Amino acid sequence: MPFDVFVSHSSKDKLVADAVCARLEASGIRCWIAPRDIVAGTSYGESIIDAIHSAKVMVLVLSANANSSGHIPKEVERAVSNGVAVVPFRIEDVPPGKSLDYFIGSVHWLDALTPPLEKHLDELAETVLKLIPQMGDGRGSPAPFQTVMGKAATPLPPAFQPPAPSAAPGAAASASSSKMIWIGVAAAILVLAVVLGIIFLRPKPAVPSGSATSTVTPSPNPQLITPNAGPTPGPGPSAAVDPIVGCYHWFNNGSVLIHSNGIIQGGPFTGRWRLVNSAQRKYTFTWPAAIDTVTLTADQRSFSGGNQYGYPIAATRVAGSIGIQGTWNVNNIPLLVPDNNTFTYANFSGTWQVVDISRGIYILTWPDPVDSVTLSADDQTISGANQYGVATSGTRVEPCNVN
């Protein structure tokens, strides 16, 4: 897949590099970053050289770690030799080392030394967009997160961890100067698994005790459990009863009922099902949005909570100072929370709102989980997974009183 920006960074600065990548991709700027974009079985060195030669811009995460790296000066030299614009993004109050100074000593730096990191990431995105004029010419509006953060499987949002019995699926800066940016979190991106205990919802018979909807981690006011308005239900009014209709013992020991009118019930949760391909016996199950309620600590350095499905979430601040706004480390993946009531985590995006600012309580709402499943030829079993990579399955049980 084509890309615009090569992100050069020390592996010790991976958390910041991932945040850079996430912010740029949220603006529709396609990035190449190692090790995520190195294809398994290919030469590491050759992949990096090919990527640099194909890039339009190189963003260099400049720090003491970059100065001491033996590879970064070589990457910058390759970029300069091939006419690739280099944008140093300085995250520590250090001058470039001699090997880097030769190439970027006369280049304008973007300093990200003072919190919050988000404003510096915004400036970086604006700068890169100016260096890639074709971004708005012929591509249409930038699409956030065109690539997945993470080389392996897409991580699960913190609140999207597989549920235990008794619950159902439900399931992202300005050039300035000054001091060193505070990064106090372990590196790596989830993911998206991910996403930090973010809600990965799955059908269950009942909500576990202690899964208070007022102290959950991701999402605003809990939504009513009503069928999602979305795809048209499976069979039409005059169609024969679809073979998927029936009662199932779910993988988490819960019960799932699939009705002929396109409604699916898992414990207290209600969703909708849809026939996607009758020949291949493929269906989708769409469940209610995952909602997390979280509470910030008094020092504003971390937050924790859980969702209505009983799954916990916890995060440590990387950038920002007060409130939920800032950059957080969730399962070693950056959760970016700007002040526009939206957030991004890997390739997921959602919304947030204040519940009680005096007590530091917020709600994060994540996307509806959608299971893509297949019904076996004998109509007895269902198996598949959702967009978060969580496997789901069920076995038909009789007798069953559904229609």
Per-domain boundaries in the chain: 5-136, 154-403
User: How far apart, in Å, are the Cα atoms of 368 and each of 196, 253, 390?
Assistant: 17, 22, 13
The candidate with the shortest Cα–Cα distance to 244, out of 375, 384, 400, is 375
Give residue 395's pLDDT: 95
DSSP string, 68-105: H-SSHHHHHHHHHHTT-EEEEEE-SS-PPPHHHHHHHT
* pLDDT tens per residue, range 346-361: 888 999 988 887 788 9
Global pTM value: 0.45
Across the range 256-277, mean pLDDT stands at 90
* Proportion of the chain above pLDDT 90, given as a percent: 38
**CATH number for domain 5-136, candidates 3.40.50.300, 3.40.50.10140, 3.60.90.10, 3.90.1150.10:** 3.40.50.10140
Which residue shows structure tokens 């997921």? 348
Across the range 186-192, mean pLDDT stands at 36
* pLDDT tens per residue, range 277-311: 999 999 999 988 888 889 999 888 999 988 776 66
Alpha-carbon distance of 364 to 353, in angstroms, equals 7
Residue 170 reports pLDDT greater than 70: no
Across the range 81-99, mean pLDDT stands at 91
Instruction: Determine phi and psi for 60, rounding to 5 degrees.
Output: -105, 115
In 83-117, which positions are buried (b, 16+ CB within 10 angstroms) versus exposed (e)? ebbbbbbbbbeeebbeebeebbeeeebbbbbbbbb
Q: In what order do the strands lie in the sheet with 110-111?
A: 31-33, 5-8, 57-62, 85-90, 110-111
Residue 55 reports pLDDT greater than 90: yes
Helix, strand, coil in percent for the chain, rounding step 5: 20, 30, 55
The candidate with the shortest Cα–Cα distance to 9, out of 76, 57, 55, 94, is 76
* pLDDT tens per residue, range 236-257: 333 479 999 999 999 888 889 9
Instruction: Determine phi and psi for 24, rounding to 5 degrees.
Output: -65, -45
Written as six digits, the tokens of 167 are 């619950």
* pLDDT tens per residue, range 129-159: 988 865 444 333 333 323 222 233 334 445 4
Alpha-carbon distance of 403 to 260, in angstroms, equals 5
